[in-house]
Structure 1
Amino acid sequence: MIPVQGYSGATVAVLGLGRSGLSAARALREGGAEVIAWDDNEAARDNAQAEGFAIADLSKQGALDGAAVLIVSPGIPHLYPQPNKVVRAAWEAGVPVDNDISLFFRSFATSEWDNFERIPKIIAVTGSNGKSTTSALIHHILEHAQRPTQLAGNIGRGVLDMDPAIDGEVVVLELSSYQTDLARALTPDVAVFTNLSPDHLDRHHGMGGYFAAKRRLFSEGGPDRCIIGVDEDEGQYLANQMAGGATDDRVIRVSSGRKLTGDGWNVFAKKGFLAEWRKGKQMASIDLRAVPGLPGAHNHQNACAAYAACRSVGLAPRVIEAAFHSFAGLPHRSQLVGEKDGVKFVNDSKATNVDSAAKALQAFTNIRWICGGLEKEGGLGGLLPHLGGVTKAYVIGREAANFAMQLGDLPHEVCTDMATAVARAAADAVKGDTVLLAPAAASFDQYDNFERRGEDFIAQVETLTKA
C-alpha cells in the first residue's frame, strides 16, 4: 500500500466504494486521515463499514463541512453529462475535488528515496485503444530485463495498492480518460499516448473534451519524455505542442503503417518491421511478423510505443526484441484460444468500439466474424471499409437484427447468443479461416463486462475443439 501523504489529521470524504474508492480510503487512513465515505450501493457501504470506515450520505446538507478534499471514484461523473450531486455540493462548499490517481502522484515519492542509487520512475500510458496491451508489454519487457517493476492503474492493481517503491523501480500505469480528467496531480517521468478514436463521448461532452482529458497527462504532467502516436491529427497536434523544435528528442513520435521522417526521435512500423530513427540515422530494426503475441498492425503500433518507452528508461534494442518474443499477449485482445482442422479461433472481446474492431479485422484474413452487442454512439459506418477480409458475420446481442442491418451487403446470420454464433461459424469455416470475436459493441446487453463475454466465447470454443 502507498500511504497517502498530506492529509494526516484531516477529514477526507470518499465518494464511490468500488475497487479504487475503497483502496483510496484505506491508503488515506494509513496516512493518518479521518475518512468519511459514501456509495449509493448498500452492499458497497456495508463492505466499507465492516472495515471500520465512517459512512455518511455526502449529499446531505453539511455532510462535507470540515472536509479537506472530496475523492471521487473514476466511474462517477464530475461534469458531463451532468455533475454528481455530491460533486456539486463540494463545489458549493468550496471543497476541492480530486481522485486516487492524484493521491498516488502526491504520495509515491518518500524521504527513503534519498538513499536510492537510482530514483524510481513512472511510465503512464493513455489513449483510446491499445493502452492495456502497451502497458502490459512495457511491464513484461522490464521484467525480462530484470528491472524492478509494478503494473497498476486501469490494469492490474489499483495505484494505491502498490508496494512502496524500491531502488531503481519503474512503475507502469495504464490511465483512462476518466482517471486523467480529474486528477490535480499528474507527474509521470514518461507519458505515452497511443491513439485517439471516438469513445466515452457523453462523459466528455464530445471529442474535444475526450482529447482534452488525455492531453492533461502531458500538458499538466510535464513528463521528461513523451511517446506520442501521430497517426491521427490529435497526436500530431500533441507532439507539436510538446516539442521545442524538430530535433527535440524529449518527444518520440510513433506510427504504424508509415515511415516517419525528420531529425527527431521516431519509432515506426511498416510492413511488419519496427524501425527506430534518431537524428536522421537508423538505430535499430526488429521483425515483428514472427512475434506471436503481437499480431496485426494495431499490435505493431503497441510494440512501437512500448519499445520507445523502454528505450526512454535505458533498455537496449536487442533486450527489448528478445522480450517481444516471450510476450503472450493479454486475455480478450487478439487472443488465440483454439485451433481445429486448420481453423483458428481468436478472442478480441475487448474490441468494444468500431475503431478497435477495425484494427482486429485488419490483423486477419478469411474471417468468420462474431459481432454485435450494445451499440455505441455513431453506428458502424466507420467499420464498413474494413470488412474486406470478412467472409461472413455472425451477429449476437439482444438487438442483433438491428445491428445486422448496418452491415450492408456483407453475408451475415443473426445468431443472437454466443453458443449459436460459435457453432454456426465453426460449421461454415474451412481450413485457413479465422473465427474472430471482435464485437464492435459493448457487452452490457448480455454480459456484466467484456471479460465475461470473452470467457463465454472461450468456453464455447473449448467445447467445440475438444469434441
Structure 2
Amino acid sequence: MIPVQGYAGQKVAVLGMGRTGRAAAKALAAGGAQVVVWDDGPGGREAAENDGYDLLDLTKPTSFEGVTALIVSPGIPHLYPAPHPAIAAAWDEGVPVDNDIGLFFRSFATPDWHSFDTPPRVIAVTGSNGKSTTAALIHHILVENGRPAQLAGNIGRGVLDIDPAHDGEVVVLELSSYQTDLARSLTPDVAVFTNFSADHLDRHAGLGGYFAAKRRLFAEGGPDRAVIGVDEPEGRYISNQLSEGAEDDRVIRISSGQKITAGWAVFARKGFLSEYRKGRQVGSIDMRDIDGLPGAHNHQNGCAAYAACRTLGLGPKGIEAAMRSYPGLPHRSQLVGEKDGVRFVNDSKATNVDSAAKALTAFDNIRWICGGLQKEGGLEALLPHLDRVQKTYVIGREAEDFARQLTGADCAVCGTMEEAVKCAIADAVPGDVVLLAPASASFDQYDSFEKRGEDFMAQVTRHIA
C-alpha cells in the first residue's frame, strides 16, 4: 500500500466505495488522515461501515464543514453529463476535488529514495485502444529482463494498493480518460499515448472533451519522455506540442503502417518493427510470428511498449525475446481454442467500433460475433472491413438495429451468445476464425466485457471439447 502524504490529521472525504474508493480510504487512513466516506448505494455504505469508516452524507448542506479534500472514484461523473451533487457542493465550498491517481503521484516518492542507487520510475499509458495490452507488455518485458516492476491502475492492482517502491523499480500504470481527467497531480517519467478514436463521448461532452482528458497526461505532467502514436491527428498534435524540433529525442513517435525516419521513431509495417534514430535504423523485430501480438493493432502496441522500454535503456534483443514469451491478455485477441481447422478468438474488450475494426483486420475468413449496447457514432467505420467476414452473428438487445447498419453483410440475428456460437460453429469450415469482437458495450446483457468474454469461452468450450 502507498500511504497518502499531506493529509495527516486532516478530514478527507471519499465519494464512492467500490474497489478504488476503498483503497483510497485505506491509504488515506494509513497516512494519518481522518477519513469519512459516502456511497449512493446502500451496499457500498454497509461495506464502508463494516470496514470501520464513518459515513457522511456528502449531498447534504454543511457536509463539507472541516473537510480538506474530496476524493472521487472514477465511475462518478464530475463534470459531464452533470456533476454529482457532492462534487458540486465541494466546488461551492472551495474544497479541492481529486482522485486516487492524483493521490498516488503526490505520495509515491518518499525520503527512502535518497538511499537508492536508481530512483524508481513511473510509466503511464493512455489512449483509446491498446492501453491494457501495451501496459501489460511493458511490464512483461521489464520482468523478463530482470527489472523489478509493478503493474497497476486500470489493470492489475489499484494504484494505492501497490507496494512502496524498491531501488530501481518501475511502476507501469494504465490510465483511462476518467482517471486522467480529474487527477490534480500527473507526473510520470514516461507517458505513452497509443492512439485515438471516439469513446466515452457522453462522459466528456464530445470528442474534444475526451481528447482534452487524454492530453492532460502530457500537458499537465511534463514527462521526461513521451511515446506518441501519430496515426491520428490528435497524436500528431500532441507530439508537435511537446517537441522542440524533429531531432528532439524526448518525443518518440510510433506508428502502425507509416515509415518515420525523423528524430526517434518506432514503426511497424507489414509485420516488421523498426527503430530509427537520427535517420538511421538501430533496431528491428519480425513480429509476424509473435503469437501473443496478432494483427497490425497489436504491432502498434508492440511499438509503444518497445519505445517505452528503450527509454529505460533496455536493448532490442532483450525486448524481442520478452515479446516472444508474452502470453497476451484475456479478452484481447485471445486464442480460446481450435478444432477441425477452425480457430476461436475472444476479443470481448473490443467495446467500440475502432477496436472492433482493428480486430477484423487481424484475421481472414471471419465468422464474426458482434453486438451489444451501442455507443455514439454508428457502425459505418466497420463497413470497409466486412470483406474479411464470411458471416456476422449479432447478439444483444439491439441486435436487429445493429444488423441493419451492417449494409451488405450476411447477418444472422441471434440475440444470445449461446445461439451465436452455435450458429457460427455450424457454418464454419476449415480455415475460418470465429471471432468475438462486439464493437459495443456489454451492459445490455452482461455486467462487464470480462463476463461477456467468459460466456463466449464457455460456449466455445462446450462445443469443441
Provide the secondary structure at the position in 1 that maps to 2:267: strand
Deviation at residue 261 of structure 1 after TM alignment: 2.5
Q: Does the alignment pair 1:158 with 2:158?
A: yes
Aligned residue identity for 1:193:
F
State how far apart, in whole Å, the 1-side matches of 2:279 and 2:380 are: 39
Provide the secondary structure at the position in 1 that maps to 2:237: helix
Aligned residue identity for 2:4:
V
State how far apart, in whole Å, the 2-side matches of 1:115 and 1:399 are: 59
Give 1:143's aligned residue. 143
CA contact (8 A) 2:373 2:441 kept: yes
Give 1:189's aligned residue. 189
Q: Does the alignment pair 1:102 with 2:102?
A: yes
Count of aligned residue pairs for this structure pair: 465
Give 1:365's aligned residue. 364
Render the CA deviation track for 1:219-263: whole Å, top value 9, x for unaligned: 11010000000000000000000001110000000000111132x
Give 1:30's aligned residue. 30
Deviation at residue 386 of structure 1 after TM alignment: 1.4
**Correspondences of 1:112-261 after superposition (within 5 Å):** 112-261=112-261
State how far apart, in whole Å, the 1-side matches of 2:385 and 2:12 are: 50
Aligned residue identity for 1:178:
Y
Provide the secondary structure at the position in 2 that maps to 1:462: helix
Deviation at residue 191 of structure 1 after TM alignment: 0.1
Aligned residue identity for 1:238:
I
State how far apart, in whole Å, the 1-side matches of 2:17 and 2:322 are: 37
Render the CA deviation track for 1:407-460: whole Å, top value 9, x for unaligned: 111111111101111111011110000000001111111101100000000001
Aligned residue identity for 1:408:
T
Aligned residue identity for 1:313:
L
State how far apart, in whole Å, the 2-side matches of 1:40 and 1:290 are: 49
With normalisation by structure 1, the TM-score equals: 0.99
CA contact (8 A) 2:261 2:280 kept: no
Give 2:46's aligned residue. 46
Give 1:74's aligned residue. 74
Provide the secondary structure at the position in 1 that maps to 2:387: coil
Query: Which stretches in structure 2 are left out of the alignment for 5+ residues?
Result: none
With normalisation by structure 2, the TM-score equals: 1.00
CA contact (8 A) 2:366 2:391 kept: yes
CA contact (8 A) 2:228 2:235 kept: yes
State how far apart, in whole Å, the 1-side matches of 2:290 and 2:217 are: 31
Provide the secondary structure at the position in 2 that maps to 1:155: coil
Deviation at residue 125 of structure 1 after TM alignment: 0.1
Query: Which stretches in structure 1 are left out of the alignment for 5+ residues?
Result: none
Give 1:414's aligned residue. 413
**Correspondences of 1:251-400 after superposition (within 5 Å):** 251-262=251-262, 264-400=263-399
CA contact (8 A) 2:366 2:390 kept: yes
State how far apart, in whole Å, the 1-side matches of 2:172 and 2:105 are: 13
State how far apart, in whole Å, the 2-side matches of 1:399 and 1:136 are: 33
Give 2:456's aligned residue. 457
Give 2:3's aligned residue. 3
Aligned residue identity for 1:320:
I
Provide the secondary structure at the position in 2 that maps to 1:240: helix
State how far apart, in whole Å, the 1-side matches of 2:286 and 2:150 are: 28
Aligned residue identity for 1:3:
P
CA contact (8 A) 2:417 2:455 kept: yes
What stretches of structure 1 move > 2 A for 4+ residues in a row?
none
State how far apart, in whole Å, the 2-side matches of 1:236 and 1:379 are: 25
Render the CA deviation track for 1:388-411: whole Å, top value 9, x for unaligned: 100100011112111111111111
